[in-house]
Amino acid sequence: MQGNLTALLITSFIIITVVLIGFIAGRDKASRSSVEEWSVGGRRFGPLLVWLLVGADLYTAYTFLGLTSTAYTGGSLAFFAIPYPIIAFFLSYFYLPKLWEVSKKHKLTTLADYAKGRFDSKFLSLLIAIVGVVMLIPYIDLQLAGIQDTLQVAGTGFINVKVVVILSFLLVALYTFFSGIKGPTYTAIIKDILVWVIMLFLVASLPIIHFGGWGSMMDKIVAESPQLLTIPTTGPKGIPWFITAAFVSGLALFMWAHAATGVFTAKSGDALRKNAIFLPLYNIVLILVIFLGFIAFHVLPEGTDPRFALLQLIQVSFGGVTQGLAYSTIALASLIPCSIMAIGASNLFANNIYRDFINPKVKPAKLTMITRSMVFVVIGLALIFGMVFPTALVSLQLLGVSGMVQIFPAIVFSLFWRNQTKEATTIGLIVGLIVTVAVYATGNTFGLYEGFWGLIANVLVLVILNPLFVKKAKHTSNPIIDQLFTKQ
Alpha helix segments (H runs only) across 26-121: 35-40, 47-58, 61-74, 83-106, 111-119
- Give the residue among 42, 112, 43, 105 at the shortest CA–CA distance from 350: 112
Residue 434 lies in a domain: no
Determine the pLDDT at residue 398: 67
User: In the prediction, which pLDDT does 279 show?
Assistant: 86
Give the list of residues 6+ apart from residue 243 with CB closer than 8 angstroms, or none: none
Is 93 part of a structural domain of the chain? yes
Are 323 and 314 a contacting pair, CB within 8 Å? yes
* Angle CA 452–454–457, to nearest 5: 110
**Residue 317: alpha-carbon gap to chain centroid:** 30
> In terms of residue numbers, what domain contains 282?
5-401
Domain for residue 122, yes or no? yes
Q: Does residue 420 fall inside a structural domain?
A: no
- What length does the chain have? 488
Q: How many whole angstroms separate alpha carbon 345 and alpha carbon 341?
A: 6
Which CATH number is 202's domain given?
1.20.1730.10
Is residue 475 included in any domain, yes or no? Answer: no
Q: Which neighbouring-strand residues pair with 266? A: 45
For the chain, the domain total comes to 1
User: Where does 389-421 have alpha helices with state H?
Assistant: 393-404, 408, 414-416
Q: Determine the residue type at 217.
A: M
Run of H or E including 88: helix 83-106
- CB-based contacts of 41: which residues, under 8 Å, 6+ apart? 31, 180, 181, 182, 185, 265
Q: What is the DSSP letter of 59?
A: S
Taking the C-alpha atoms of residue 85 and residue 276, their distance in angstroms, rounded to an integer, is 10
Residue 34 maps to a domain: yes
Residue 442 lies in a domain: no
Q: What is the DSSP string of 171-234?
A: HHHHHHHHHTTHHHHHHHHHHHHHHHHHHHHHHHHHHHHHHSSHHHHHHHHHHH-GGGG---SS
* CA–CA distance, 144 with 103 (Å, rounded to integer): 31
Does a structural domain hold residue 169?
yes
Query: 354: which residues sit within 8 A by CB, 6+ positions away?
Result: 362, 367, 370
Number of H helices, E strands in the chain: 23, 0
CB atoms near residue 193 (< 10 Å) = 12
Walk along the chain (488 residues) in steps of 10 and give the mean pLDDT of each run: 79 88 81 85 85 77 81 87 91 95 93 95 94 85 80 76 80 87 86 87 92 92 89 82 92 92 91 90 85 92 86 91 91 85 90 90 91 90 73 63 94 95 96 93 88 96 93 74 82
